[in-house]
Amino acid sequence: MVFTTSNLKIFFSMFIMVSLGIAIMSCSSSEYICFKVKKSELMPDSLELGLDSLIVGGLKICKMAQRYYSKPLTMGGGGNSFTGFTIPPYLIATEFGTYIATVGPAMITVTGVSNQMPITVVCTVTPDTIATTIN
């Protein structure tokens, strides 16, 4: 399934998709490629909520990084570079996990590590794409 959404609806749409068991395979700034996944009946709701929140938090950081990249240096952005981007302090550690970013000029890798289970969410960010992997 491929759909397009406005920037104002991105995070809400992603949260709904994750809650409904639709995984985000990759996305650009306006297009998202998604696929339906079967939720495990063995995963308690609280762990599922933690995983969903970890994914949504990682994607939120990714979108912040893309905005930083495209914002001019004079306005506090990267001026077409990710160099200088940092995760806001309030998003580094959340109730469900912690995030770290490995920053390069043309790409960022955001890794979210769950507090509740041995799972990591890795998001690779370029100026116009985000690819997410759950390990």
pLDDT mean over 113-130: 93
Mean pLDDT computed over every residue of the chain? 78
- Which domain range does residue 110 map to? 2-134
For the chain, what is the domain count?
1
Q: At what angle do helices 45-70 and 10-19 cross, to 10 degrees?
A: 160
Enter the pTM of the model.
Answer: 0.69
Confidence of residue 43 (pLDDT cuts 50, 70, 90): low
Confidence of residue 89 (pLDDT cuts 50, 70, 90): very high
Confidence of residue 104 (pLDDT cuts 50, 70, 90): very high
Q: In what order do the strands lie in the sheet with 31-36?
A: 2-4, 31-36, 22-28, 129-134, 120-125, 108-114, 97-103
Confidence of residue 44 (pLDDT cuts 50, 70, 90): low
